[in-house]
Chain A
Amino acid sequence: MATRDSLIQVTDLKKYYNKGTIKALDGITVDINRDDVMVVIGPSGSGKSTFLRSLNLLEEPTGGSIVFDGVDITKKKVKNAEGKLVKLDIDMHRQKMGMVFQRFNLFPHMTILDNMTLAPMQVKHMGKAEAEEKALALLDRVGLKDRADAYPIQLSGGQQQRVAIVRALAMEPEVMLFDEPTSALDPEMVGEVLDVMKQLAHEGMTMVVVTHEMGFAREVGSRVLFMADGKLLEQGTPEEIFNDPKHPRLQDFLSKVL
């Protein structure tokens, strides 16, 4: 079960709607280790995004557990250090999980720099000077330091998504969750975003990536999960998944997307 390097243990995760008639997630069990680049693939409606969004409780599961840093975050009450039952502080856990969305979700009324410094200043109570210095360094890494004073609308989709990635990184998360980060981009901008993600993976960031970019899954993924109908049907290394698919649904899916 949980190894020393295990960061998130998902056990029998379920998300049912309408008294169980709709099963968005139907018993997902998976271990996410530190330094993993876990790529989740599958047809649309398979529950990939629901799975990812459950990891930081943007979706509240109806069953199962998600143990993150040793705490089951699906429980409303958890034992603290003294063994007393206290209310789970989900905001504290979310700080450690960066999330990147399909539609970027930058804050349109703030400059890029303010987008980057808001959470470090408000949540981590970092000083303005320090937060801005860190933000500028991160923006520099993705080649957007000179756009710090621009507003999101003034940036291209690819630039906005790169900002969204470093905005999440500014909180120094332990894991980054990517929800189809290139699906809303014009084709010529997909590469620049994938490059940033590759760089991140090479630096050893733990990542869970829901994507339709099979090239990325094959090249960067350390493990690939195949989901369909809310179930985890197959998992393995990219070689196993792409070169030797076992499940007929996976074979069928790959024949359509490759």
Chain B
Amino acid sequence: MHVSAAGFQKVFQYADMFKEGMLCTVYLSFFTVLLGFLLALVLTGMRMSDIRPFRALGLDKDGHLRDGGFLLALSKFNPIGFVATAYVEVIRATPMLVQLFIVYQVVFNKHVIDLPSVTVLGFLKLNRFLPGVIALALNSGAYVSEIIRAGIQSVDGGQTEAARSLGLTQGQNMRFIVLPQAVKNILPAIGNEFVTIIKESAITYTIGVQDLMAAVKAAQAGTFLVLEPLLVVAVLYFCLTFPTSKVIAYFERRMSRGDKR
């Protein structure tokens, strides 16, 4: 295919659309990470909760822990944690596109939740943007919850044993010993999740969110050029993600410098 400077000049007539699309992508990613992180905190709280309605079944008639069997397994069952884990597994095992369409076409159709056709933050169409953010956040929350869980599990079990043997409660152990160490593993991974979302947010173009991909479509339609708009958008995505991941890497290095292990 022939790529010419003249072609790019034509594409640059759509600079304003690319600019708005880029801002839209940034807003999408920002709100997605924010909501997704809050959801992840709730999911993690549910999974780490110690609400076990059948706890007593794990003990024999003398009050000792059973040495195995169905009742011991049942006593460890945490329904709230189960719901959260099931949610995470379903989200991770189904395509993002399907989740997006379910949110947009099933939840936010005009018979269920009818969003007004208004413009927010200057140029964003609320009835497209909000379902996009919510679908992305529902998805991201599940992944971030896994990141947090893995970060907590990566802390050596001996740390908890030492804390508990000093008389610290489970809550104090979490607050003073486990979480401060887990954060060092969690924060860089959440930064990478931010980069992933910047790229994945392109999928919301399919429900009519006016992000960078919408600018590409408009430029392609107006100029009859296929490749040039795509190259421009690829460069723009790169300009968003590459510095972000460099900033994350910088903080990662700084944190591991403070890591005295």
Contact = CB atoms under 8 A, between A and B. Distances in A.
Nearest to A119: B166
A69 interface: no
Contacts, number: 98
A183 interface: no
A171 B164 CA distance: 12
A80 B168 CA distance: 22
Given A62-B67, A74-B63, A74-B64, A108 B176 contact: no
Interface string A107-135: 11100000000110011000000000000
B50 to A, nearest CB: 14
A63 B61 CA distance: 11
B66 interface: yes
B62 A95 contact: no
Nearest to B67: A16
Given A17-B68, A151-B260, A123 B62 contact: no
Contacts of B167: 91-92, 94-95, 119, 123, 171
Interface string B44-71: 0000000000000001101111111100
Contact of A118 (B67, B161, B176, B260): B176
Interface string A59-99: 01111100000000011110000000000000110110111
Interface in A108-167: 108-109, 118-119, 122-123, 151-154, 164, 167
Nearest to A60: B65
Contact of B180 (A18, A60, A109, A151): A109
B181 interface: yes
8 A-B pairs with least C-beta separation: A95-B167, A151-B260, A16-B67, A105-B162, A119-B166, A99-B165, A19-B68, A105-B158
Given A17-B67, A58-B164, A123-B166, 20 more contacts: A19-B67, A62-B60, A62-B64, A62-B67, A74-B63, A76-B63, A94-B165, A94-B167, A101-B161, A101-B162, A106-B162, A107-B159, A109-B181, A118-B176, A119-B163, A119-B166, A119-B167, A119-B168, A153-B260, A168-B166
